Amino acid sequence: MPNSPLTPGIVPARLSAEALARNFADHEPPFDLHEARVAADRCYFCHDAPCMAACPTTIDIPLFIRQIATGTPEAAAKTIWSQNILGGICARVCPTETLCEEACVREAAEGKPVEIGRLQRFATDTAMAKEVHPFSRSPSTGKRVAVVGAGPAGLACAHRLAMKGHEVTVFERRPKAGGLNEYGIASYKATGGFAAHEVDWLLSIGGITLRTGVELGRDITLDALRGEYDAVFLGLGLQGVNALRAEGEEKEGVRNAVDFIAELRQAPDLGALPVGRDVVVIGGGMTAVDAAVQSKLLGAENVTIVYRRGQDRMSASTHEQDHAVQAGVRIIHNAAPLRVLGNGRVEAVEFAYTEDGPGGLTLLPETFRLKADQVFKAIGQTLTGAPDGIRPEGGKIALTPAKVWAGGDCRAGGEDLTVTAVAEGRDAAEAIHAHLTAA
């Protein structure tokens, strides 16, 4: 196959259309009715519910599983949505193995937890198929709220505010709503356009106006929003990507992993998406795993994740790390990039082994090189272009002015998880509602 004239070695269609369709099919098929009932019957329905305590959105897990067991999955879905309105996508992408399922009593007793994530998917998929929104709006309050960012935090905030009778306008800089659910997760985790379908379903409650292609700082200002609306919620996400701080990282063939994943998620034809033969991904989180696994599924021959610290420090769960290895991805720990080698375009990356001690990370004298025609940077994201009046801290929002709330990945503190973003958006909506309706 001929090389691209712009990026030699990085070419499309390394695999057939049939192989790509198999590789990017739903990686964990949903339960059917019988499977769901069997899985639900394993639940002890614990009175203290450690699984519920481990859920960032505090879904009443024993209740919704009992509702599935008794043949009322639509009721189970409403139980889920009352706490997590994006329960469908969270059932697909949430690291349940380190949250609710890790806390499951069955996990402690038998090493095999109740499959809470798959049961949640069964309930929400069953109810969404009815195409009837489970909640209705309260009478109009006459209050208007601006939500900046149509990711998980912004959508959860908008829905809860609309349900309480407020008029909400959501401003999104990208062409589609959904945030990382639409642009930033592996395609095989949310197949069939599910993320977009869930957004449409969420908006069907009414009272929410979505304006895409509108960017804070370019098209609107925070001061203008504060003047026009009764409250503002910022769910900006993190648009900036941290630099490698390695010599030569500007070379052709080196790019941000988040951009690659977004391009893949929006590609109408995966066969037209170029991928290298020897791919190196630098980072240790879910973005690194998703970029690496999908590179392999697109047909890359050799894919390696390199992380500067030990395996126990990787933010990607052990389950996801194992999935990457099973997909054919090699993972190297305790190594940091020194320089990207090549004459204008990447040909290899040189790494130094590291030692993580009480004084921090130390580069050791021993080095090695990995052949690479494509390198993805997945070493964390940061807030860019913080609006006036916003005090950033550690690359995130730490303090907001009056009438302004923030949540999700852009907010300081907490974990960068979809389910955490939903919880923060929901809780911010409750705080905004209390503020707007205070006597």
Domain CATH for 417: 3.50.50.60
Distances, alpha carbon 292 to alpha carbons 28, 100, 146, 175, 327, in Å: 18, 26, 37, 26, 9
As beta bridge partners, residue 392 has: 397
Q: With contact defined as beta carbons under 8 Å apart, do 361 and 351 qualify?
A: no
48-95 residue pLDDT tens? 999 999 999 999 999 999 999 999 999 999 999 999 999 999 999 999
- Same structural domain, 262 and 292: yes
- Same structural domain, 252 and 282: yes
The answer on pLDDT for 200 being more than 80 is yes
- Same structural domain, 160 and 234: yes
The residues, any chain, with a CB within 8 Å of residue 27's CB and separated by 6 or more, are 188, 189
Please give the residue that has the higher pLDDT: either 395 or 22: 22
Closest CA to 293 of 337, 350, 331, 266: 331
pLDDT, mean of residues 246-254: 95
Q: Domain ends where: 346, 377, 408? A: 377
- Same structural domain, 255 and 346: yes
Residue 233 within any structural domain of the chain: yes
Residue 439: what pLDDT? Answer: 53
Residue 242: what pLDDT? Answer: 87
Q: Alpha-carbon torsion 274, 277, 282, 285, what sign? A: positive
How far apart are the C-alpha atoms of 84 and 143, rounded to whole Å? 24
Residue 2: what pLDDT? Answer: 39
Residue 15 within any structural domain of the chain: no
How far apart are the C-alpha atoms of 288 and 236, rounded to whole Å? 21
- Same structural domain, 366 and 268: yes
Q: Residue 21's pLDDT band (boundaries 50, 70, 90)?
A: very high
Q: Alpha-carbon torsion 317, 323, 325, 331, what sign? A: negative
Which token pair is 306?
A: 């390199």
The answer on pLDDT for 380 being more than 90 is no
Which token pair is 123?
A: 């309930």
Q: Domain ends where: 65, 93, 128? A: 128
pTM (2 decimals)?
0.94
Q: What count of other Cβ atoms lies within 10 Å of the Cβ of residue 437? A: 12
Fill in the amino acid letter for 171: F
Q: What count of other Cβ atoms lies within 10 Å of the Cβ of residue 132? A: 10
- Same structural domain, 371 and 247: yes
- Same structural domain, 306 and 400: no
Residue 72 within any structural domain of the chain: yes
- Same structural domain, 248 and 356: yes
How far apart are the C-alpha atoms of 186 and 198, rounded to whole Å? 17
Residue 17 within any structural domain of the chain: no
278-282 and 374-377 beta bridge pairing: parallel
Residue 26 within any structural domain of the chain: no
How far apart are the C-alpha atoms of 279 and 275, rounded to whole Å? 8
Closest CA to 337 of 250, 246, 254: 246
Q: What count of other Cβ atoms lies within 10 Å of the Cβ of residue 304? A: 18
Residue 56: what pLDDT? Answer: 96
Residue 354: what pLDDT? Answer: 97
- Same structural domain, 83 and 184: no
Q: With contact defined as beta carbons under 8 Å apart, do 225 and 148 qualify?
A: yes
391-437 residue pLDDT tens? 777 788 888 899 999 999 999 886 789 999 999 999 999 999 999 99
Domain count, the chain: 3
Q: With contact defined as beta carbons under 8 Å apart, do 376 and 282 qualify?
A: yes
**How large is the angle between the packed helices 152-163 and 418-437, nearest 10 degrees?**
40
Domain span including residue 108: 33-128
Residue 414: what pLDDT? Answer: 67
- Same structural domain, 163 and 110: no
Residue 6: what pLDDT? Answer: 47
Q: Alpha-carbon torsion 282, 287, 293, 299, what sign? A: negative
Residue 340: what pLDDT? Answer: 98
How far apart are the C-alpha atoms of 437 and 439, rounded to whole Å? 6
Q: Which helix (H) or strand (E) holds 244?
A: none
pLDDT, mean of residues 183-198: 95
- Same structural domain, 231 and 261: no
- Over the chain, what is the mean pLDDT? 94
Q: With contact defined as beta carbons under 8 Å apart, do 41 and 319 qualify?
A: no
Residue 394: what pLDDT? Answer: 79
Q: Residue 374's pLDDT band (boundaries 50, 70, 90)?
A: very high
How far apart are the C-alpha atoms of 167 and 310, rounded to whole Å? 48
Residue 221 within any structural domain of the chain: yes
What percentage of the chain reaches a pLDDT higher than 90?
87
How far apart are the C-alpha atoms of 145 and 135, rounded to whole Å? 19
At CA 16, angle to CA 12 and CA 21, rounded to 5? 100
Q: Domain ends where: 95, 128, 161? A: 128
Q: With contact defined as beta carbons under 8 Å apart, do 130 and 216 qualify?
A: no
How far apart are the C-alpha atoms of 161 and 410, rounded to whole Å? 20
278-282 and 254-256 beta bridge pairing: unpaired
pLDDT, mean of residues 312-319: 93
- CATH at 109: 1.10.1060.10
- Same structural domain, 274 and 336: yes
Residue 389: what pLDDT? Answer: 73
Distances, alpha carbon 104 to alpha carbons 97, 111, 382, in Å: 10, 10, 34
Residue 413 within any structural domain of the chain: yes
Residue 215: what pLDDT? Answer: 94
Residue 129: what pLDDT? Answer: 95
Residue 1 within any structural domain of the chain: no
